[in-house]
Amino acid sequence: MPEYEYFCRHCQLPFTSAMSVKQHDERMAECPVCHQSKEVEKRIAHVYTVTSRKSAAW
Ligand SMILES: [Zn+2]
pLDDT by residue, tens only, the chain of 58 residues: 788 899 999 999 999 988 888 888 888 899 999 999 999 999 875 545 556 556 555 5
For ligand 1, the distance from its centroid to the CA atom of residue 16, given in whole angstroms, is: 12
For ligand 1, the distance from its centroid to the CA atom of residue 21, given in whole angstroms, is: 22
Q: What is the pLDDT of residue 3?
A: 85
Q: What is the pLDDT of residue 18?
A: 87
**Is 57 part of any domain?**
no
Q: What is the pLDDT of residue 52?
A: 57
For ligand 1, the distance from its centroid to the CA atom of residue 54, given in whole angstroms, is: 37
Range of the structural domain that residue 33 is part of: 3-46
For ligand 1, the distance from its centroid to the CA atom of residue 40, given in whole angstroms, is: 7
φ, ψ at 26 (rounded to 5°):
-85, -35
For ligand 1, the distance from its centroid to the CA atom of residue 6, given in whole angstroms, is: 10
Neighbouring C-beta atoms of residue 55, cutoff 10 Å: 7
Q: What is the pLDDT of residue 40?
A: 95
* CA end-to-end distance (rounded Å), the chain: 43
Q: How many domains does the chain have?
A: 1
The Cα 47–Cα 58 span in angstroms is 25
